[in-house]
Amino acid sequence: MLQVDGLTLGYAGIRVLEEVSLRVRENTVTTLVGSNGAGKSTLMKGIMGLKPPLAGEVRLDGIRLAGLSTSEIVARGVVLVPEGRELFPKMTVLENLQVGASLGGDEARKKRNLATVTELFPVLGRKLSMAARNLSGGEQQMLAVGRALMASPRFLLLDEPSIGLAPLIEEQLMASIRQVANELGLGVLLVEQNAMLALEHSDWAYVIELGRITKSVASAELVDDPSIVDAYLGG
């Protein structure tokens, strides 16, 4: 289990998150719902050690991650797919995937991971020698997810994965994320602008408002909450 307990984060003396606590379990997709500026991306950075906490902590299977570098957190099995993908545009698809496997693991595991990625996203397998910048937006997002999977994660953090994508591609991507959790047994924490779509493909949800968690509930129940539908789901 990935645990966040009482996490408080801020920028330039201004607190953005206040005592946030949540749980992400393996083999499940957890969606974080909130408006722009609520602190969703800041929480992701805090989990990955990119922002030092003012208070609180992050634990993996009960072991504190405080003081570890981001690369050490990745090596322990927590990987972030950032908003905007942050691919290496001039490098090939294969080279971008190899970057994801660069933190360790034997060659056999790297080959297995590559086979898993190309099975999950067959289009990547057909374009391994193509420069990342020549992929479509949807293919680039698949590559960003695939690169993360090359690191053999146990927990995958996804920050706005469908931004800028057509509705059909959004649906395909969310289905792939659900598949990743089910077939690979990963825990997924998902921040997604299309909150309704994300909830349809997730198990559990947290609502964050002004830097605080205000609700924790099964995703299906959140979809039936009129106040949440009106505020965040386009109802």
pLDDT in tens, 32-73: 998 888 899 999 999 999 988 999 999 999 999 988 999 999
Question: How many other β-carbons are positioned within 10 Å of the β-carbon of residue 40?
Answer: 23
Question: How many other β-carbons are positioned within 10 Å of the β-carbon of residue 131?
Answer: 16
* 28 confidence band (pLDDT: 50, 70, 90): very high
Asked if the model's pLDDT at residue 235 lies above 60, the reply is no
Place of tokens 């995703």: 219
Return the pLDDT at 130: 97
Q: What is the count of structural domains for the chain?
A: 1
The helix-helix angle for 167-184 and 137-149 (nearest 10°) equals 10
Residue type, 146: G
The torsion region of residue 209 among left (phi > 0), alpha (psi -120 to 50) and beta comes to beta
pTM over 0.85: yes
| Average pLDDT of span 115-128 | 95
Return the pLDDT at 107: 87
Contact 133, 90 (CB under 8 A): yes
CATH number at residue 70: 3.40.50.300
**Residue span of the structural domain in which 167 resides:** 2-232
The torsion region of residue 18 among left (phi > 0), alpha (psi -120 to 50) and beta comes to beta
Backbone angles phi and psi of 161, in degrees to 5? -70, -25
Backbone angles phi and psi of 210, in degrees to 5? 50, 45
